[in-house]
A and B are shown apart, each in its own frame.
Chain A
Amino acid sequence: MKNEMEIIFDAVSDNEGFARVAVAAFIAHLNPTLEEMADVKTAVSEAVTNSIIHGYENLKGYGRAERDWEEVHKGKVRVRCILEKEILRIEVADSGKGIEDVKKAMEPLFTTRPELERSGMGFAFMEAFMDDLEVESAPGKGTVVRMVKKIGTGSWIDCEG
Chain B
Amino acid sequence: MDFQIIDNCLMIRLPEEIDHHEAGFICETADRYLLREDVRNVVFDFERTRFMDSSGIGIIMGRYRKISCFGGRVYAIHVDRQIERIFKLSGLNKVVEILNMPESLQGMDSVAESY
Contact = CB atoms under 8 A, between A and B. Distances in A.
Nearest to A118: B58
B87 to A, nearest CB: 11
Contacts, number: 76
Interface residues of B, number: 24
Contacts of B27: 117
A112 to B, nearest CB: 14
A30 interface: no
Interface of B is mostly: helix
Chain A interface residue count: which class? 20 to 34
Interface stretch (B14-22, B36-44, B70-78, B97-105): B14-22
Interface of A: 13-14, 16-17, 20, 34-35, 38, 41-42, 45-46, 49, 52-53, 60-63, 116-119, 121-122, 124-125, 128
Interface of B: 17, 19-25, 27, 51-55, 57-59, 61-62, 81-82, 86, 89-90
